[in-house]
Amino acid sequence: MCDTVISEPIQKIQKEIPSWQKRDTVFAVITLISSVLFVDWSVFGGFNAGFTASLLLLYALTFAYNGGKSRHIGAFSVFCAAASVGFSAIFSVYNDSLMNLIFFAAAVILYGISVAGIFGGDKNSSPMLSILNTLLVNPFDKMDIPFRSYGSYRRENKLRGVNRQVLAGILLSVPVLVVIFPLLMRSDAAFEGLIVSVFSGVGMLILKILLGAAASVYFFSMLFSVKKNLKHECTDIGSTEELRKIPPATAVTLSSVLAAVYFVYLLSQSAYFFSGFSGILPKGYAFTPANYARRGFFELCGVCGINFVTVSVIFNFTKRGENAAAPLSIRIMSTVICIFSLIFAATAISKMIMYIGFFGLTRLRLMTSIFMAALALLFIIITVSMYAKRFPAMKCVIICFAAIGLITGFCDIDRTVASYNVNAFTSGVLKELDIDYLGELSDSVVPYIAQLTKSDNESVRDAAYHALYERAERLFEMNGDKISLKTDDSPSKYNYSRENARQIIQKDIKQIIWKESERVRAEEEQAWIY
């Protein structure tokens, strides 16, 4: 489809190979080194402080490579860069493995947005298209351009002969070293030990280098495309009117039918539909707290998701008039759908809050509530964008979701769950506490589990000690009286929550081990009796 709308000047641009400079050579090497460190510190380092350091290194490389252009970066790109670093900093503080993938994706996406400078750079493209081009299209579609540009540079500067001579020398040295190394190793035990120790991790080193090299090709291709202002042929796709095929009457009919169904739905449940807002169960209905709060929650989430897709399709792909504005009927009916969606979202959240009040927090309950709140905010932004012509909807979406993500990350889902449940149980709001569930969460919960070891309830106290012992098995090597750390103390693997958990457990390790031995002994005695 794109080929039919590419203009002749754009096709000419695609055939041109940008000139290679000595600066590009330097930064290509730096990108390779940085990418290897990125892979080592992030992927193999377990997404700890190393990821934060590697991303900062990547940003330093980016701004240095762009040179003087970096001072023209817009405020939005600065925000995206700061938010990206903020997401990476979460890995240094908390170690929630479930959320790490989300925060990693957010950091990378925001990095791409900040690099592109999409709202101050290519003004002819839509923001979303610019993001896709920067992160996905150009790095792969233009991956050969840096190599072709460097090839032209070598031919112009007659460097091929020298490079070939150096490469020939390296290749000839390989078979010689294959023969020499075994002889030297047999001649001296100390040299043999040195070579064995060096090459014991050579396989992992080679893997890191290969992965780093692949990552460097991606990053440098992206930076090279941005710096040389290379554009993908689908970037300037022509008028978006060509994509608007839905007749206004069809869109109005669809939204009217949905609105009528939602109105009947609310009317049929008017006696108890909003009971969740007051935190009390509706009278006269056979609802338990559990089935009322859970009844329809995920279904309402699904309805809101469908409404979002429906409104987006209607508003963006319905035929428009001469002034390129959406018909008033479309905006009104889309607004109605958005209002119903906001009601559903608020109701679902109120039900979940009541459910949490009865049964406590879990990771899923908290995450779904945050998701519904974010979806409600998205509907508000969509509604505003329908009536405000110059409203930067995409900017607002990115800023709001980045802010929600950062707040969620630094509040720490697991710590929030543990803090609420333990405090609610201690104060008597919660009648029961699932300590086994808390023990399955990240290291952030250790301070709250340790708090339960001072409980007046013996079963709670014993369960807390057992959870701490299981955590100690993950963090320490325990062989009799010898206790040592399982992982190394390299700065790239530092994590505050893990270190704090280690200190808390290590402080009371003897008591924890003794309590566990008492528990095991009691279970064995009970099993012998039966």
Spatial distance between the Cα atoms of 82 and 114, rounded to a whole number of angstroms: 9
Spatial distance between the Cα atoms of 363 and 356, rounded to a whole number of angstroms: 11
Name the token pair of 25. Answer: 């050579």
Residue spans of the domains in the chain: they are 2-227, 242-411, 434-529
Cα distances from 492 to residues 180, 215, 316, 504, in angstroms, run: 37, 19, 46, 22
Please tell me whether residue 482 adopts helix, strand or coil conformation. strand
Amino acid making up residue 483: I
Name the token pair of 116. Answer: 């592109």
Spatial distance between the Cα atoms of 399 and 90, rounded to a whole number of angstroms: 18
* Residue 479 host element (H or E): strand 476-479
Based on its alpha-carbon atoms, the radius of gyration of the chain, rounded to whole angstroms, reads 30
Question: pLDDT 10s digit of each residue in the chain, 530 long?
Answer: 344 443 444 444 444 577 777 777 778 888 888 788 777 777 776 677 888 888 888 888 877 776 655 455 677 888 888 999 999 888 888 877 778 878 888 888 888 788 776 434 544 455 566 666 677 666 666 666 777 776 666 666 654 444 555 555 555 555 656 556 566 666 666 666 666 665 556 666 777 777 878 887 887 777 777 776 665 444 444 444 555 667 778 888 888 888 888 888 877 766 556 555 665 666 655 556 666 666 667 777 778 888 888 888 887 777 766 555 677 888 888 889 899 889 888 888 887 888 888 888 998 889 888 988 998 999 999 889 888 877 888 888 889 999 999 999 998 899 999 999 999 999 888 888 999 999 999 899 999 999 999 988 889 999 999 999 999 888 887 776 666 666 656 777 788 888 899 899 988 888 888 888 888 887 777 766 65
Specify the pLDDT at position 189: 64
H and E: helices and strands count for the chain? 24, 2
* Residue 477 host element (H or E): strand 476-479
**Tally of CA atoms within 13 A in the half-sphere of 209 that contains its CB:** 7
Specify the pLDDT at position 230: 60
Name the token pair of 132. Answer: 């896709």
Amino acid making up residue 313: V
Say what the pTM is: 0.73
Q: Return the ∠ at Cα 259 (arms to 255 and 264), rounded to 5°.
A: 155
What residues does 478 pair with on adjacent strands?
483
Name the token pair of 480. Answer: 């009799």
Specify the pLDDT at position 405: 92
Q: Return the ∠ at Cα 92 (arms to 91 and 95), rounded to 5°.
A: 50
